[in-house]
Amino acid sequence: MFKFPKMLKWVFSLALLLQLTGCGINTIPTLDEQVNADWAQVENNYQRRADLIPNLVATVKGYASHEKDTLTAVTEARSKVSSMQVTPETLNNPEAFKKFEAAQGELSSALSRLMVVSERYPDLKANEQFVALQAQLEGTENRIAVARRDYINSVKAFNTEIRTFPGRIWHWIMYSDLKAKPNFSATTPNADVAPKVAF
């Protein structure tokens, strides 16, 4: 019976180890961590928006106190979003993810109505505090859009990896506990239809 010399065993073992490290075995957990990091950034921007809202509502309330319905809608939407418990498991639960996404959509809609109300009050539009808060809110909305785009790209990379070769094999062998990640969808009904503008 042929015996491998000890040095040849070590060389063979080292070559096998190098092959395993280059074959994508670490790609799935790396992509999973990227999805989690990008999701944390989305949450961070949502939190920033939620933190701006009380100041914005208080400023508008001073000028447009009879717009109670709009102010109440913003406050209630913010409260609903704040009361939702978002955990890392939310990313693995499509139903919880959709509920969270719907609540954020309601808040966006309420804020849009608040900005329309502000157009009716020239004194409010000239108020420095309101202008600063509006600029911060617009910047935050842009950050949310960028963070959501990054999250969407991370989810795409992760979901593609676990569905294609060789990632599918590694997923089946080692990472079967990691499920496909949910993605954002349009929360506004008929968002794919362009709005009609009449002058």
Could you report the per-residue pLDDT of 147-162, keeping only the tens digit for each?
999 999 999 999 999 9
Range of the domain at 140: 25-173
Residue 130 in domain: yes
- Supply the pLDDT for residue 199: 30
Residue 67 in domain: yes
pLDDT higher than 70, residue 171: yes
- Supply the pLDDT for residue 125: 73
Residue 105 in domain: yes
Write the CB contacts of 185 (distance below 8 Å, at least 6 apart in sequence): 98, 101
Q: Give the total number of structural domains in the chain.
A: 1
Let me know: does 58 contact 78? Beta carbons within 8 Å: no
Using CA of residue 90, residue 96, residue 101, residue 104, what is the dihedral sign? negative
Write the CB contacts of 63 (distance below 8 Å, at least 6 apart in sequence): 121, 123, 124, 127, 130
Quickly tell me which residue has 């790396």 as its tokens.
30
Residue 150 in domain: yes
Mean pLDDT score, 39-65: 89
Kindly report the pTM of this predicted structure: 0.75
Q: What is the CATH number of the domain that holds 103?
A: 1.20.1440.20
Mean pLDDT score, 99-113: 90
pLDDT tens string 121-131: 888 777 888 88
